[in-house]
Structure 1
Amino acid sequence: MRDPSSRAQNPRNLAASRCRPQRRVDDACRRTWRCMMATRAASHHTLYQVSTATALVQGIYQGAVRVGTLREHGDLGLGTFENLDGEMVIVDGQFFQARSDGSVRECNDDVLSPFAVITRFAPDAAVTLTQDPDLSHLSSGFDRLRHSDNIFFALRVDGHFDYVHARAMCRTKEGVPLVEAAAVQPEFEFRDVEGTLVGFWTPEYAKALNVPGYHLHFVSADRTRGGHLLQCRGAGLRLQIQREGDYHIALPETEDFLKADLRRDPAADLAKAEGEKK
């Protein structure tokens, strides 16, 4: 009569019994890995940018991309238009041009831009400020939501603004340095207005590519007023933030860009151009 224990003692059976738990562990690991990759893919965002801050500072304002092309890369962002003809504000997939009188109009797909930054916005975190914050409080609120000084972040603020101080560039000639163009930019104030701020936080090390720190553009809820933000105050403002895992730059192939000397550090000129007139 065959020993009942002989099957268990068979080396092949013993090997199989040892493999089954290992296969279960391997299957569990694969499932965990797939879940991790799916989560990462769902939360991984790309910042798409056309041209560089250095090129803009040096007066390279020739249109490099159509609004219709930018639409393919996101639904929130900012930028400017050919020959600095106003400020670009991108909200919920709509593209707006804030003009030098503070008015706003929607853009068609054929409008050209020399510089733009855009992303698909699905915020990672949000907070509502209960106090009546100004721009410094907004920055501090976003600072608390940021977990790194070394990656880019997309930003959005919605709510009621008691006061907005903004500006918009006037159409200018190609080659006029940004600082000179900014010296004559009109500034305007809006009061008691519902609206949205959109923009980005850029690491200091990327200052040759984008505006370092916080860069925000404003558009009113009725889409009639807007511009580059200089200062604001509001009540119950809701802040949303999204980390950007990828940074994609599309470089212009215009003659001016290809022949420009872009070695100059643009930081000082950017600070003058982006801030308030003194």
Structure 2
Amino acid sequence: MPSSSNHDLHLRLPSGHWQALQKHCAQTGESASAVIRKALGDFLDLEHHTIWQLSTSTAVVEGVFGEALKVSDLPQHGDFGIGTFEHLDGEGILLDGLCWQARADGSLIQAPLDEGIPFWIASRFQSEKQFTLEDVQSLEQLGELLDPFRPSANLFVAIRITGTFNQVLVRSVSPVEEGATLLDAAKAQTTFRHQAIQGTLVGFWSPTHASSLNIPGYHLHFLSDDRRHGGHLLDLRADSLQVDFDLESNLRLALPETREFLMADLSGDPRSALEQAETKAG
């Protein structure tokens, strides 16, 4: 899968434009480049501030793990994101247009283009707000430190966090038999603890009102800089981390047309099962 590319553009702005841009950035915390990208996106009618999601959290809880699309379909929808693979064969990380598969045996591979995906969340990441967090001692504390930087409890946020981690605890799940639920899969997860490791956290914050569609709260996957380790984040410690936010106000939902999805009972409330499956280390 080809990686995404960025291009530098040097502009000479009239003084009035420059002063207005600086005032806007000071008020909102956005970078000048983010404002210019958004303005160009509006003028050129390009898709931005959009999360694309395949399937729903309720379907995942109920064990709808069959192939709905393939890894090769992801570039149409984003260059950044997280998800899983057919029958829950590992944790997925999409970063800079490349899709990685963290498997239950601890291996990390670039996901084959023909690998099936049942659930995925993707966006075209453009940093709008950047800041540093110091002395992060747990995943719970990370959420508490991030919360004040979110402008609303009702919008989605794409989150990229980079730095050296004193410790990360990640998990990956193994392929499950047909009929298994997400809680069944979580009971058989494999956890890995890495120390003094450089890497990136890729993920999203989703509002509670979208819990039947998405996993509410912070959902992050880890990818090491040396591309040897990865997985669903369960805990961490770090002295200093660089955080980038991309605020997302549009949600595009792609529902599978597979028989498995069409026949599933998706009427239940998935929140309790999601909390158990996504936050517990076995």
Normalising by structure 1, report the TM-score.
Answer: 0.83
Structure 2 counterpart of 1:145, from 149, 162, 182: 149
Three-state SS of the structure 1 residue aligned to 2:135 is coil
Structure 2 residue 157 is the aligned partner of structure 1 residue 156: no
Residue 234 of structure 1, CA deviation? 1.1
Distance 2:128 2:278 in 1: 27
Distance 1:231 1:207 in 2: 22
1:83-94 equivalence runs, <5 A: 83-94=87-98
Aligned twin of 2:5:
none
> Measured at CA, do residues 176 and 240 of structure 1 come closer, stay the same or move farther in structure 2, by a change above 3 Å?
same
Alignment RMSD, CA only?
1.7
Residue 145 of structure 1, CA deviation? 1.4
Structure 2 residue 227 is the aligned partner of structure 1 residue 234: no
Question: Does the 8 A contact of 1:62 with 1:113 survive in 2?
Answer: yes
Give the letter for the 2:256 counterpart: P
Question: Does the 8 A contact of 2:160 with 2:200 survive in 1?
Answer: yes
Structure 2 residue 202 is the aligned partner of structure 1 residue 198: yes
Question: Does the 8 A contact of 1:46 with 1:244 survive in 2?
Answer: yes
Distance 1:108 1:277 in 2: 28
Question: Does the 8 A contact of 1:66 with 1:109 survive in 2?
Answer: yes
Normalising by structure 2, report the TM-score.
Answer: 0.82
Deviations 1:142-173 (A, max 9, x none): 21210000011100100000100010011111
Aligned twin of 1:58:
62
Aligned twin of 1:258:
262
Three-state SS of the structure 1 residue aligned to 2:220 is strand
Three-state SS of the structure 2 residue aligned to 1:100 is coil
Ranges in structure 1 where 5+ consecutive residues have no aligned partner: 1-34
Ranges in structure 2 where 5+ consecutive residues have no aligned partner: 1-35
Structure 2 residue 212 is the aligned partner of structure 1 residue 208: yes
Three-state SS of the structure 2 residue aligned to 1:150 is coil
Deviations 1:172-192 (A, max 9, x none): 112201101111111110111
Distance 1:64 1:222 in 2: 30
Deviations 1:198-254 (A, max 9, x none): 000010011111110000000100111010000001122101111102100100010
Structure 2 residue 39 is the aligned partner of structure 1 residue 38: yes
Give the letter for the 2:199 counterpart: G
Q: How many residues are paired up?
A: 243
Distance 1:69 1:43 in 2: 17
Question: Does the 8 A contact of 2:48 with 2:124 survive in 1?
Answer: no
Question: Does the 8 A contact of 2:62 with 2:182 survive in 1?
Answer: yes
Three-state SS of the structure 2 residue aligned to 1:263 is coil
